Structure 1
Amino acid sequence: MSDDRSHPPYAASAAVAAPPPIPPQTPPPVRDRTRLAIALMCLVSLIFAFQDVFSRILGGDYPPVLIVMIRYWVFAAFVIALVARQPGGLRRAIRTKRPLTQIARGVILALEVVLMVEAFVRLGLIETHAVFSVYPLLVAALSGPVLRETVGWRRWTAIAIGFLGILVILNPGGGVISVTALLPFAAALMFALYGLLTRHVSRDDPAMVSFFWTGVSGAVAMTLIGIWDWQWLAPMDWVWMGCLCVCGMTSHYLMIRSYEMAEASALQPFGYTQLVWVSIIGVWLFGETLRPNVVVGGAIVVAAGIFTLWRQRRRSA
């Protein structure tokens, strides 16, 4: 896969779920299974939402770098096991023509996950995801200077409208915008850069190689950072961590299966259903407030993002 169609809108939160950047190479999609693929993508978005719940629970008592480090240990093991079953196995996955870029991708994604966990604790699930949903617009905006791609006036208009939506969410007229409110925006910016670098390396490396380097380099980076904050989790917190890791592996597998059945460009808009799930869960479990400006701003950002994805799909067609 050689373009941004391999990235669903909430793969990051993915990212918080530390999702695979792009699934291993698969046969051409089967068109008559698109509905099943869409259903799986909606299910993946629900699982991502529960991952965020577990991340917020653990993030309230432990450093985010510790949580992400343990998760990446499991994620790396999952990646290695999955890649080992592909043609060529680990020997093929290790060989890359762009090692520095591959390492940078993995590190950027891991740090993005840390920012998202911190944002969950400080801002809550709803506001974090409302701001993070701007990331497809950032991909479109940065594709010109980073990848030398042409961005037409229609997509630039959608990008501008999407940023207006972010301003509505942040509500600068209601007070000074805090640094905390910018955490999910910074995470979205990092995830957009990660996506663009993934498209860049896909010109030379197959998906299996990028998948392998994402998990392994992220795990190494998080170990170097997070090991200094090591502490044993309480018995019940190990249960939450186990649920988090199981959800992560399940969502990765289901996402890969959905891409086997339909094109990623057809599935991307349904990744936005995660925003609905986290809104329901945030209000129900954590007593978060669904403020009117967040609802309106989030709707503007999502609409602009869907339009951008639609334009990209038309250009690809």
Structure 2
Amino acid sequence: MEERAPSPQPSDSPEPYAASAATASAPPPIPPKTTAPILDRTGLAILLMCLTSLIFAVQDGFSRVLGEAYPPALVVMIRYWVFALFVIAMVSRQPGGLKRAIRTKRPFTQMFRGALLGVETIVMVEAFVRLGLVETHAIFTVYPLMVAALSGPILGEKVGWRRWTAISIGFAGILVILQPGGGVMTLESFLPFIAALMFALYGLLTRHVSRDDPAMVSFFWTGISGAVAITLFGIWEWQWLAPEDWIWMAGLCLCGMTSHYLLIRSYELAEASALQPFAYTQLVWASIIGLVVFGDILRPNVVVGAVIVVAAGLFTLWRQRLKSA
């Protein structure tokens, strides 16, 4: 997972639903398009976004398989090592290369947000193991609403009554999923909620640093500082993977690199505001994988609650687009 519903963010700072534990599980920030597309290739971009969401969901499946056999910190650490190499390779091809990417006006914030995303990814993998893909992603879809709710106190943005209403309805959807007092809610159910809060804070910090640092710099610091932070305590969980499990790990890392490359390509072809709603398809793919591969149970309240949360998130995104326009 890694990278893990689209957030209502400006088009110059796109973020994948991804938290795919991947992203969380994962999603690190990606470099936006450097030039406007000459032709309208929105249809191709939407297709790439849907494909990216599918790969993110498969990636989450790999994360769950490995997370059931090994400590999540170990799984995320190895994945981040490969991701850091991918980041270095991508950034090296940009104007200024690594020398430019290292220079940041907000080093401590950049390091913190990179470490925060790494920890969030670990929490998501743990949630995959304990709750399954279906319920984890259903609860995690609340994160765009958290972004909208926290954008006021953290970034000083104005949130109108319509979006506050959507936020309230979205959180009501989470209560439908959790069913407090219904005998099905456990402390483990809050893992994806905590991950969503962390990912929302990560997204807000990304928007904050984007005022001073270009996306390439944030992309570099996300991969490198995240890898360093996870290694500091993940290395204590070190153990050699069984030979067959290295195949799963290779699949996880390959999905991570492929999904992020396709994500970058999709944002080069179309505006983020046109693509973000289609990132919600990851919830569909993850649910199908959870049901078919892992035998997850699709409870009616989870379906109803997820629909409420997604609808509230889409409304919030629509209001953000109107505000930007």
Q: TM-score range by the shorter chain?
A: over 0.9
Q: Residue in 1 aligned with 2:4? A: none
Task: Tell me the amino acid that sits aligned with residue 174 of structure 2.
Answer: I
Q: Under a length normalisation based on structure 1, what TM-score does the superposition of the two structures give?
A: 0.97
Residue correspondence of structure 1 range 1-317 to structure 2 within 5 A: 6-30=14-38, 32-175=40-183, 177-317=185-325
- The 1-side partners of 2:233 and 2:12 are apart by 29
Contact conserved, 2:134 with 2:290, CA < 8 A, in 1? yes
Contact conserved, 1:128 with 1:184, CA < 8 A, in 2? yes
Contact conserved, 1:8 with 1:264, CA < 8 A, in 2? no
Q: Quote how far apart the aligned CAs of 1:32 are.
A: 1.6
For residue 24 of structure 2, give the secondary structure of its aligned residue in structure 1: coil
| Distance change >3 Å, CA 194–CA 21, structure 1 → 2 | same
| Distance change >3 Å, CA 20–CA 160, structure 1 → 2 | same
Contact conserved, 1:2 with 1:202, CA < 8 A, in 2? no
Q: Quote how far apart the aligned CAs of 1:173 are.
A: 2.8
Contact conserved, 1:169 with 1:297, CA < 8 A, in 2? yes
| Distance change >3 Å, CA 249–CA 229, structure 1 → 2 | same
State percent identity of aligned pairs: 74
| Number of residue-to-residue matches in the alignment | 317
Task: Write out per-residue CA displacement over residues 19-45 of structure 1, whole angstroms, 9 at most, x where no aligned residue.
Answer: 331325521134520010000000000
Q: Quote how far apart the aligned CAs of 1:279 are.
A: 1.1
Q: Residue in 1 aligned with 2:6? A: none
Contact conserved, 2:142 with 2:171, CA < 8 A, in 1? yes
Q: Quote how far apart the aligned CAs of 1:155 are.
A: 0.4
Task: Write out per-residue CA displacement over residues 207-260 of structure 1, whole angstroms, 9 at most, x where no aligned residue.
Answer: 000000000000000110100000000011100000000000000000000000
- The 2-side partners of 1:117 and 1:129 are apart by 11
Contact conserved, 1:25 with 1:207, CA < 8 A, in 2? no
- The 2-side partners of 1:116 and 1:3 are apart by 26
For residue 23 of structure 1, give the secondary structure of its aligned residue in structure 2: coil
For residue 100 of structure 1, give the secondary structure of its aligned residue in structure 2: helix
| Distance change >3 Å, CA 232–CA 14, structure 1 → 2 | closer
- The 2-side partners of 1:163 and 1:268 are apart by 20
Task: Write out per-residue CA displacement over residues 131-165 of structure 1, whole angstroms, 9 at most, x where no aligned residue.
Answer: 00000000000000000100000000000000000
Q: Under a length normalisation based on structure 2, what TM-score does the superposition of the two structures give?
A: 0.95
Task: Write out per-residue CA displacement over residues 102-144 of structure 1, whole angstroms, 9 at most, x where no aligned residue.
Answer: 0011001000000000000000000000000000000000000
- Give 1 or 2: higher helix fraction: 1
- The 2-side partners of 1:297 and 1:227 are apart by 38
Contact conserved, 1:135 with 1:189, CA < 8 A, in 2? yes
Contact conserved, 2:110 with 2:218, CA < 8 A, in 1? yes
- The 2-side partners of 1:46 and 1:78 are apart by 20
The Cα RMSD (Å) is 1.4
- The 2-side partners of 1:4 and 1:311 are apart by 17
Unaligned ranges ≥5, structure 2: 1-8
